[in-house]
Amino acid sequence: MTTHQIDELSLDPSGPVLITGGYGTVGAEIARILATDTPTLLTGRNPDRGKAFAAEIGAKVRAWDLADPGPFRAGVRAVISSVNDPEDRVLHAAATGGVPYVDITRWTGRLQRAVTVAALLRPTAPVLLSSAWMGGVSSLVAATLAEELGGAERVEIAVRWDMADRAGADSVEFMDRLGVAFEVVDGGRRRLASPMTETRTVRIGGTPLRVARIDTPEQFTLPLTLGTTTAATRIGFSSPAATRALLALRGTGFFRWAGGERWAPVRRALLHSPGDGGTARLRVDVTHRGRTRTATVTDPLGQHHLTAVGAVVGLRRVLGTDGSPAPRGLVFPEQHPDPARAVELLVGHGVAIAFDEDDSVGTGQDRAGTRAAA
């Protein structure tokens, strides 16, 4: 499929920020955050579904169905891709049009392909592939701790998935990856890991949680960017019964033999949540030369909000409005020249980040209390 070659995005510094999937669960949250000071253009398969929301926040809405070969053209200031782009149409149009681009929706395999596409296109405008957990939040926090320690030999990330939270369909597509082994770097060596294995119990926000390996992009990027010799991301669920059930299903081989389209509704129903809201939590541990620093991230507004905040921080990065010059070409979130400042932006949007008692990030003053205040 080569329909992306007829899509055209052109740079208009006074134009809107285009959000693909802009009235979906995460896209709408991004649009709400930006609505106070940034014109936005929301796109999706059925713009009629987004008209009322667009009118509410003062945005524009247009159709751009990435599965439809019809061309899309617009002049925009930047693009946030908050919906899966299986044929790289949005990436291609933004890169060739010189439009700053942020992507928060790719699993590792698709991110690796996007790296190749971007390398071939040689974009001059920033291309931020920010699909690390929660819109790159996990990587930003890891980079902040690594900067304070002077390196990051080992990065361990533990995620608490709140079963009561709202989650869009794209957010749980990793369920389709639970039967697929993935490459990790462990002790400086590459090996294959299986999803929902290598379990351990960690404390997140004072509560013990059983977590197991999942395939996430930061496990691919952190060894390349921070020189991490071990990078591991694990997930557990607010319902211990759900964690036990998934581990049991993995033991039966369910995610291998039920990997086809026929079983897709069953797989996704296991985690797709139509709930009213929950609390997002994750823990990041970074170790360098025998010293370990820990940060616990909490967003009381939920996983979709935390992902949206990560996307907005990414937007400020590619526009150069976060206090640092905008990058050129392909970058990952942990390559921020001032990750501690990016963390402060997260806090400014209501995200609590509590560092361990030896916190000395940034100016040297004790800012842990400030960051922990949601």
The angle that helices 137-149 and 339-348 make with each other, rounded to 10 degrees, is 130
| Residue 268 exposure: Cα atoms within 13 Å on the Cβ side | 15
Q: What pLDDT, on a 0 to 100 scale, did the predictor assign at position 367? A: 39
Cα pseudo-dihedral 234, 171, 370, 283, rounded to 10: 0
Contact 194, 287 (CB under 8 A): no
- Residue 92 CA to residue 340 CA, distance in Å, equals 31
Q: Is 156 left (phi over 0), alpha (psi -120 to 50) or beta?
A: beta
pLDDT, mean of each 10-residue run, the chain (374 residues): 72 98 95 96 95 97 94 97 94 97 94 96 96 96 98 97 74 66 96 94 94 96 98 93 84 72 66 72 97 97 95 98 96 97 97 75 36 38
Give the per-residue pLDDT at 334.
98
Residues near 287 by Cβ (< 8 Å), separated by ≥ 6?
149, 152, 153, 154, 155, 156
- The pLDDT of residue 374 is 32
DSSP codes joined into one string, 100-155: -EEE----HHHHHHHHHHHHHH--SS-EEE--STTTTHHHHHHHHHHHHHT--SEE
Can you name the residues that pair with 359 across neighbouring β-strands? none
pLDDT at residue 270, as a whole number: 64
Residue 20 corresponds to which amino acid? T
**Beta partners for residue 225, in sequence order:** none
Q: CA-to-CA distance for 108 and 218, rounded, in angstroms?
A: 8
Question: What integer pLDDT is reported at residue 171 of this predicted model?
Answer: 57
**What's the pLDDT score for residue 259?**
63
Counting runs of H as helices and runs of E as strands, what totals does the chain give? 12, 18
